[in-house]
Amino acid sequence: MRQNFGSGGPFEDMYGYSRAVRVGAHVWVSGSCARDEAIVPDAYAQAVDALRVIERVLAEAGASLADVVRTTTYVTDIRDTEKVAAAHRRSFGDVLPAATLVEVSALADPHYLVEIQADAYVEE
């Protein structure tokens, strides 16, 4: 059975997607960016908030950060790698999901510095 989860983000209706989709034990979380007051010119702060967005939707889907098996992180400046990695490490601790970080030329809003997507597997 498929379950779709939204977060009310500005691009969900415009683009036509779900923040997360759960099918069985699998949860896929769309690329998530910082929200509102966290959209500051600091990649660490943006990454922390994006991971909070992910954590909230995972909880709605019956999962947690401990269930994440893979993340993909997009940054607009590869020099922010250490900042973003620190936020990732802070959120996941010893979970150690498979992870990829890549630099992109731009994200959906010019103020976004970081976007993170996550895949989770929930033991049933």
Across all residues in the chain, what is the average pLDDT?
96
For the chain, report the end-to-end CA distance as a whole number of angstroms.
14
Q: What does the alpha-carbon distance between residue 115 and residue 73 come to, in Å, rounded to a whole number?
A: 6
Tokens at 29, concatenated:
């979380």
Q: What does the alpha-carbon distance between residue 62 and residue 39 come to, in Å, rounded to a whole number?
A: 27
Contact predicate 40/49, CB 8 Å: no
Domains of the chain plus CATH, in order, are: 2-121 (3.30.1330.40)
| Structure confidence at residue 101 as a pLDDT band (50, 70, 90) | very high
- pLDDT tens for 27-81 read 999 999 999 999 999 999 999 999 999 999 999 999 999 999 999 999 999 999 9
